[in-house]
Chain A
Amino acid sequence: MAITTLWDVAYFMATALLGLVGRIIPPLAAPLGNVDLIWGLAALVFGAILLAASMINTIMLIWFERKMLGRFMDRRGAMHVGYAGLLQNFADGLKLFRKNTFKPRDADGLGFYAGPTAYLVTSLLMFGVLPVSTGWSDGSLPLSMLLALVIFSFAPLFIFISAWSSNNKYSLIGGMRSAAQMIAYEVPILLAVVAVVVVSGSFDLNTIVNEQRNFWFWTLPLTLAMIVFVTGMLAEMERIPFDLPEAEAELVEGWNTEYGGMLFAYFMLADYVRALAGSILIVLLFLGGWTLPSYVPAALTSFPLAGIFWLMLKTYLVFGVFVWIRAALPRVRTDQLLRIGWMRLIPLSLASVVIAAAFVLVKCVPVLGCVPSMGG
């Protein structure tokens, strides 16, 4: 069996593990050889690898942001734990882990504890859906993009639950802002995605990425859609121009005011998990995913794990742009945010759908030539 995908690796590990156990304890050899059992264990191993990879990437993302933001602000960022502060976030996480988690007296216990947990778990679910390279998962979901966006939009529910149940006025205002903001920005995001679907003719992220390979990504015909999508993503991630729900100047910490210790860490982590997933989504939808344009020398894409390398590089660059925006722009106001969402982005996203449809009809771009396969 050739090991080409991560699933193969997981399956191989599960087989080997069960085989080893069967070798040591011969009576168990036959029942352990059950294909379903191997498949189940392989799924577990697959999930564990995925979780570890995404968590490490998330924490690296936090480090990346801290260092980069530091340079934008003429300072250094984390310095001392590990080389250039690489392990600082692990140290911070350990500290939060050791802290006491306490609940305000009048807070609702179930919501208070379940909210952040569910928020983190649903955010992590994203990585089960997003393909990271051709060798990542076996097969593909036909509607994976839709599924990713659905998972992505779970968040306001849990934020609101945790905000409401922590029984704090700031949390409440923050939760309401969060809900309003995320709902307002779902619409332009979905419309921008429609433009992508129109051009690629598929809801499958694998297909979308492969389609882009032929055509120097889609930045030119889908520039407008990309701007709308990135702006919407900024709002969905609650990053700085749109971080009203946790606007610390007026709302202390917004919806996570009452949280401390590990529950706060859940929120922080989930925020960055969402940031990572969102950045990956942007790369997949607009920047060619793990592929490079077809005229790039093959040597650049043929080394081992090249797909993951290029995807992560692009992801970090996209996230770097977010950090840049954070370093340079103040936060907008709630009404302005909603006005930007409803009055500017939605018309823009509708326009982007029209533009995309026009491209599909013409199948040509003035400078770059014609692409017969466009539009599926």
Chain B
Amino acid sequence: MSEMWINMGPQHPMTHGLWNLRVRIDGEMILDVDPEMGYLHRGIEKISEDRHYNEVITLMDRTCYVAGMAWEHLYIQAAEKALGITAPERAEWIRMMSEEFQRLASHIMWYAAFVQDLGLMSPFLYGMRDRDLILDLFQAYTGGRLTYEYMRVGGVRNDLPEGFPKQAREVLDWLEPRLVEYDRLCMGSDIFRSRCDGLGVLKESDCVRLGVTGPMLRSAGSKRDIRKDRPYSRYSQVEFDVATADAGDVTGRYLVRMEEMRQSIRIIRQTLDWLDHHPGPVIADHLPRWLGAPYAPVGREGYLLKRNYPKGVGLSAIEEPHGEACAYVVNEGGEHPYRVKFRSPVFANLSACSHYLVGYRVADIPPIMGSVDVCVGEVDR
């Protein structure tokens, strides 16, 4: 059979979103790939320029629809730096807990989708079942299950409700044995191992060169984790280990994510303990009205020039579930950010895809792309 291009996407079970992977194959062998993005481009960076600082948060939940909290955290940090506002201590801990819960939920979601790509349907449902418990927790204190709109410039929207720590601990107790079960279904199965070992190999040097971050990078042996290397929020005050693997293949990424889930549980437990003993305000006690809450729009140039707004630039970087995410918020005075730039980890991870796909088989595309954990929302933004 001669070579041919096939379009895997925009609607294809492998894509987990809306993108198109064009693959040149010879028989079952991949000769070349060309990802086509942009099907989900909503212009979030542009819309942000037209919104109040707090209103951008609604967009952040939709940037990556499985890791909304992480993106809220990312944006809020940058915006607070740009505006010169600091959040109270308790708010920072709640944010950190939210981000870790989000990492847990995101990784479980990844696990469910990834294993389903291999043709195994039951872990998908196990994963969704267990993720739902975390969503219940999110609903308990934010009111939303997927789009939380929880964090605010200068703190978080509200404190944790009564009884939340108890239920959170119960969920963690439920999840820990489930992670063992996940492992038994995957690592305990030789078919799974033979599907994943040695696939999509990307060495550490290549990862760094190509800008690949997150579990993909750590699976190749690097220990780069923004939470450790450049602790934001209160990550310097909790104990956790950076999960790494050596092989840099699909199995390695699986192992890294599984270990990260365990570490997340560890962090959340410490955070819950801290929160139990340190009540306090969760939002800064003085926020400029033009920022903190809605009001009648003014938007006239004269008004903006007459009033003195602080100016500044904020840069923040967090370890999002998919990797290193950065936000760059330019505040030129006024109610809206002048420019918001996001660095999406999946964007960079995906840009390297020809390096980890070429040379493998068509049947290897789902596990490899599954192990990348593509979230098209944050690639296209």
Contact = CB atoms under 8 A, between A and B. Distances in A.
Direct contact of A and B (CB under 8 A): yes
A243 interface: yes
A92 interface: no
B119 A240 contact: yes
Contact of B195 (A75, A169, A332): A332
Question: Looking at B28, B117, B122, B189, which has the most chain A CB atoms within 10 Å of its CB?
Answer: B122
Contacts of A332: 191, 194-195
B121 interface: yes
Nearest to A69: B121
Interface residues of B, number: 31
Contacts of A73: 121-122, 124-126
A240 to B, nearest CB: 6
A167 B123 CA distance: 34
Interface string B113-150: 00111111110111001000000000000000000000
Contacts of B125: 73-75
A29 B36 CA distance: 76
Tell me whether chain B's interface is mostly helix, strand or loop, or mixed. helix
Contacts of A335: 28, 361
A333 B125 CA distance: 23
B208 interface: no
Contact of A250 (B191, B192, B362): B362
Contacts of A333: 194-195, 361, 363-364
Contact of B363 (A75, A240, A328, A334): A334
Tell me whether chain A's interface is mostly helix, strand or loop, or mixed. helix
A226 B152 CA distance: 64
A169 B366 contact: no
A170 interface: yes
A241 to B, nearest CB: 6
Nearest to A327: B122
Nearest to B118: A330
B13 interface: yes
A244 interface: yes
B354 to A, nearest CB: 18
Interface in A202-230: none
B28 A173 contact: yes
A169 B7 CA distance: 9
Interface string B314-344: 0000000000000000000000000000000
Given A326-B121, A335-B28, 16 more contacts: A73-B121, A73-B122, A74-B129, A170-B6, A244-B363, A250-B8, A250-B14, A250-B363, A250-B366, A252-B12, A328-B185, A330-B118, A330-B191, A331-B119, A331-B191, A336-B194
Interface of A: 69, 72-75, 169-170, 173, 240-241, 243-244, 247-252, 326-336
12 contacts: A73-B122, A249-B117, A249-B118, A327-B122, A328-B122, A328-B185, A330-B118, A330-B119, A330-B120, A330-B189, A330-B195, A332-B191
